[in-house]
Amino acid sequence: MIGLSSTTTFRVSYLLAGIKFSSPADIRFCSALVEYSYIEKWSCFQFTRPGKSYSADYMSLEIPVNVPALFKISASGVVKELSLCAYASRRFTRSSVDVRPRAHFTIDLDAPIDLRAFFALADDLGQFMTMLVGEPSYIKKLRLYDSGKACADVFFPSTIRTEKKIDFAEMCFPLSEISNIVQILAERWFSSLPLLEPVYDLLFGTLFGRDSFVRTKFLSLTQALESFHRRTQNATYVSPSDYSAVLDTLVAAVPENVPPPLRKKLSDSLKYANEYSLRKRIKEILAGLSQKTIDVLKISDVGAAAELIVSTRNYLTHFDEDSRTSLVDDMVGMHYMNERLTSLLCILILKRLGMDESMAARGILKRRYFP
């Protein structure tokens, strides 16, 4: 609350309008309607079509009045059913006709969840849309329904940037191009969240945080790359059981006179010594891609690229002058490296979701550029 006078101003994180709740515990919902930026163009919905005119003096247009589901998924995590619906919004006056495409997602859940969980679910779907569109896709409208189908519109401070004027053909993966696999992609996206959500948060944090420093983005993207490999590959030098004996021997070998804080630090460091280094992880990731994709990413030397990324990350983490690279003070060069790492991560994610690697690379490069 701001100010104590005859006029009092309240500043809130969000506002619900449409349902009266008796207690915070009652604020739970089981379905929603969500609109995102770019969704109309991305859906490629034909919202008008020429009609048969009965007179040469008039033009006839047919406007669909139903709300078709362009695609639908079922039983993915907490989501019982999710569908993309499109329709024509129309308004007629004596002097004008206003017909516009509209589209939204409808989400039905197995059981009611609270508002925070619904925000998280809508954000997850927005990240999926962002990757397909190639630009940050924000929530424009959120309407929630309780078990009795009463609805509440959600209002919250807007961070939405003005949509760019991009045609559907300029988007990474417009629905018309992936209509045969979009259901699989969406289902696998939601099922991948328990494993890869930390990776998604790091990656999409850099896409939505456009004003972040390039160094901050670089650190987030390298961490996302390392996390992706760690979570998708069982990559250790020896088996965990074999390393357990090695770890016990190494810890026991620490001299008795070592101070306890240093002993703990050594023990904690040795605990992770069996895991691959970032350098090895990057090399393995790149080795798993086709040469054509490597060429698209403009990586001429895998070893040199891995060394540059790792050394730059080490310098920005520890500020050890021995690790300083030419990239550290080249903000333009680091920006282009961030674009390259963003493209690489998106290709890896889409490939894991079931998209062909060449298709993923071709689509992602529609909205990313690096010389």
In this structure, the answer to whether residues 245 and 306 fall within a common structural domain is no
Question: Per the domain annotation, does 23 fall within a domain?
Answer: yes
In this structure, the answer to whether residues 253 and 289 fall within a common structural domain is no
| Ranges under pLDDT 70 in the chain | 1-6, 158
In this structure, the answer to whether residues 223 and 244 fall within a common structural domain is no
In this structure, the answer to whether residues 221 and 339 fall within a common structural domain is yes
Read off the tokens for 29.
């919902």
CA atoms of 41 and 48, how far apart (whole Å):
14
In this structure, the answer to whether residues 255 and 298 fall within a common structural domain is no
Question: Per the domain annotation, does 370 fall within a domain?
Answer: no
In this structure, the answer to whether residues 212 and 337 fall within a common structural domain is yes
Containing structural domain, residue 256: 240-275
Question: Per the domain annotation, does 256 fall within a domain?
Answer: yes
In this structure, the answer to whether residues 228 and 251 fall within a common structural domain is no
Question: Per the domain annotation, does 9 fall within a domain?
Answer: no
Question: Per the domain annotation, does 1 fall within a domain?
Answer: no
pLDDT at 1: 47
Among candidate residues 191, 224, 261, 239, the one with its CA nearest the CA of residue 344: 224
CA atoms of 46 and 156, how far apart (whole Å):
32
Global pTM reads: 0.89
155: left (phi over 0), alpha (psi -120 to 50) or beta: beta
Among candidate residues 131, 103, 116, the one with its CA nearest the CA of residue 33: 103
pLDDT at 59: 82
In this structure, the answer to whether residues 309 and 338 fall within a common structural domain is yes
Question: Per the domain annotation, does 116 fall within a domain?
Answer: yes
Question: Per the domain annotation, does 56 fall within a domain?
Answer: no
CA atoms of 135 and 130, how far apart (whole Å):
5
Using CA atoms, how far residue 210 sits from 75, 198, 199, 226, 363, in Å, is: 34, 19, 18, 22, 21
Mean pLDDT of the chain, nearest integer: 90
In this structure, the answer to whether residues 339 and 216 fall within a common structural domain is yes
In this structure, the answer to whether residues 82 and 102 fall within a common structural domain is yes
Considering Cα of 45, then 204, then 199, then 286, what sign does the dihedral take?
positive
Q: What's the domain count of the chain?
A: 3
In this structure, the answer to whether residues 152 and 281 fall within a common structural domain is no
Question: Per the domain annotation, does 4 fall within a domain?
Answer: no
In this structure, the answer to whether residues 224 and 329 fall within a common structural domain is yes
pLDDT at 45: 79
Read off the tokens for 332.
């333009």
Q: Select from 250, 275, 300 the last residue of a domain.
A: 275
